[in-house]
Chains A and B, each alone.
Chain A
Amino acid sequence: MKLDTNTINKIAKLARISLSEEEANDLLKDMNSILDWVEQLNEVDTDSVEPLANISSSTLPQRKDEAKDINSSNEILKNSPDKLEGYFAVPKVVE
C-alpha cells in the first residue's frame, strides 16, 4: 500500500478536486493497484539513460515572438459562467 487516506486527500487538495469519503476509498484501492503495477519499471536499468524530453524527430521550427491582436474578448466572455463589466467574475476572495 503506497497511499493512505491522508495522502489521497492531500493529492486531491493539490488537484483542487473534493472527494467524498466513498470516492476517496474507491480511488485509494484503484490508485494503489495502479501504482503497484507501475513498480515493474524498477526492473529496468536506466542509470545511463537520458530521459526523453521531445519525441519529435524533426527540427522544431521557431516563429517570431510577435503579438497578434485577434480581439475576441467579447466572444470569449460569452463562454464564462459569470462575468461582470468585461471581466470573469468569481466568488469574493477578499472580505
Chain B
Amino acid sequence: MEFKSINQLKSLIDQNKISLKEIAQTYIKKIKEKKDLNIFIYFDEDKINNQVKEIEKLPNNKKLKGIPIAVKDLFCTKNMPTTAASKILENFNPTYESFVTQKLINEGSLFVGKTNLDEFAMGSATNTSYFGNTINPLSNKDTPLAPGGSSGGSAAAVAADLCLGSTGTDTGGSIRQPASFCGVVGIKPTYGLCSRWGIAAFASSLDQAGIFSKNVTDASILLEEIAGHDERDSTSSNVSIPNYSKQLNSDLNGKTIGIPKEYTVDGISEEINTVWNNAIKSLEKKGAKIKHISLPHTKYALPTYYIIAPAEASSNLARYDGVKYGFRADEAKSLDEMYEMTRSEGFGKEVKRRILIGTYVLSAGYYDAYYLKAQKVRKLIANDFIETFKECDLILTPTAPSAAFPLNEKQDDPIKMYLNDVFTVPASLAGIPGISIPYGKDKSGLPLGIQLLGKHFDEQEIFNAAFALEKDYE
C-alpha cells in the first residue's frame, strides 16, 4: 500500500476508510523490509503502537492526525532517545521535546522513528554516523550509493516510502543536497523561521530546521506547522506564518527569476546544466521573466563557511564533557583526563577535525585573520543576495554538483567532500530560504535536483514556483 500525499491519507482517515492502527502496521512493515538501508537509528514498534492509542483520542480536525513522520535524530524527543549519530550521546534520553517535534505531535503526527545522519550533522553523505552508513534507496544492488547528508536518513526515509514527511536540519545544505540525491522535495526555510530549541546545536548562526516530503504541497503543509515564534530561541523570528498550502499558486506571470552566472562551475557534468536549462525554459514558458544575474562573492562562500561553521561547532560541542549526559570514558584518573579521553573516544574523526579547526581559528592571535575575516566576507555574500533580490523574485540554480555518488567515494579528501555544498552554502550564509525539488534524471536514471532561493521569509514565493515546476514531472 502506498500513500501519495498527506491530503490523500488524511481524507482516507476522515472517511474512516483506514484506521490509525492500519497505517501504523503498514509503515512498520515497510520499515522492517528496508532495514538493510540503515535509515533509522531508533525504531521501536511498541512506541509506534503506543502513539496510535494517544493519537486516536485526538479530534479529527488535527491537521496531521495519523500522518507518519520520521524525525532526524538531531531533534530532542522525550519519548525516544536522541544521539546526534554520535557515540558521545549514546543512551541520551532528553528531558524535553524540541519545539519542532512538539508542534508535529500537537497536530497528531505519528513518529515512526529517528533517522540516521552525519555525526552532529557534519558531513555530506551520512557516512560519519557512529551507527554506520545509510544507503540511498535508489541504489542498485551492486553499487550502494550515498543518500547525501547530513540529513541522509530523513531524505532516504521519504524516498523509500517509510513515512510521508520527515524533519531535517540544514546548516550548509544538509536538507537540500540529500533531497537532490534521493529524489524528494526538501526545504530549508529562512534562518529564524523555525525555532532551534531542542535541536543539538552544530553552528548556531546557520542551523535551521526544515522538511522533506514527496511533493511541494506536503512540504508546504508541514512547514506551516513547524514554523513559528518561540521565546526559548533568541534568534526565533516573530513573523506571522502564512497558510502556505492554501495559497499555493502556480501562476508565474510577472515574476522575475535570476540565473546567477557564478553557478556555472568548471568540471560539472553536462547533465546538471541540461536539467538547469530545462527548468529555466519551463519557467519562461509559464510566464516568468528570466534575468541573468551575478552574485560576485559566490566563490568565497565555501571557505567562509568552513571557518564559521567549525568555529561555532567548537564552541557548541564544548558541552560534551562526560559529566551531564552521554558517554564517559571510565579509565580516567583525573578530571582533565576524563574530559580528554571522553571527547577523544566519544567523537568521530570529522567532528574532531572540525572542533580543532574551530578552536584554532578562534584562538588568540588568529581570530582576526580567520574568524573576523570570514564574518566580513559573509556580509558581502549576504549583500550580494540583498542587491539581487531588488530586481528578482527568486533565484534558480542546480542543487548539487553531482547525482548521488557511491558510498565512501570521497572520504579521504575533506575539501573534495566539502565541495558538495558549493551551491547550497551561499544561501545558508545569507540566511535565505531554499528548496530542492527533483527535476529530471542523469544517464543512469538517478534524480537531479534544482534549487529555488528566495528573499527572507518569502517561502510562499519559493513554494509557488516549485509547485509550478513540479507539474512538469507529474
Contacts and interface: CB of A to CB of B under 8 A. Distances in A.
Contacts of A11: 356, 359-360, 363
B355 A58 contact: no
A31 B235 CA distance: 31
Contact of B328 (A39, A57, A72, A81): A81
B140 interface: no
A57 B191 CA distance: 9
B87 to A, nearest CB: 13
B370 A30 contact: no
Nearest to B325: A79
A12 B356 contact: yes
A79 B93 contact: yes
Nearest to A48: B376
Nearest to A15: B359
- Dominant SS among interface residues on chain A: loop
B403 to A, nearest CB: 25
A34 interface: yes
B352 interface: yes
Q: Which among A46, A88, A92 has the greatest number of chain B C-beta atoms within 10 A?
A: A46
A50 B379 contact: yes
Given A15-B314, A78-B93, A55 B431 contact: yes
Nearest to A7: B360
A31 B377 contact: no
Interface in B277-321: 297, 299-300, 303-304, 306-307, 314, 318, 321
Contact of A72 (B95, B235, B325): B95
A38 B370 contact: yes
A59 B355 CA distance: 31
A88 B192 CA distance: 34
Contact of A17 (B344, B360, B380): B344
B457 interface: yes
Contacts of A8: 356
Interface in B402-450: 414-415, 429-431
A92 B352 CA distance: 27
Given A58-B237, A79-B92, A93 B374 contact: no
A21 to B, nearest CB: 13
B42 interface: no
16 contacts: A11-B360, A11-B363, A12-B356, A14-B363, A15-B318, A27-B353, A33-B415, A38-B307, A38-B370, A52-B376, A54-B205, A56-B237, A79-B324, A80-B324, A81-B327, A91-B332
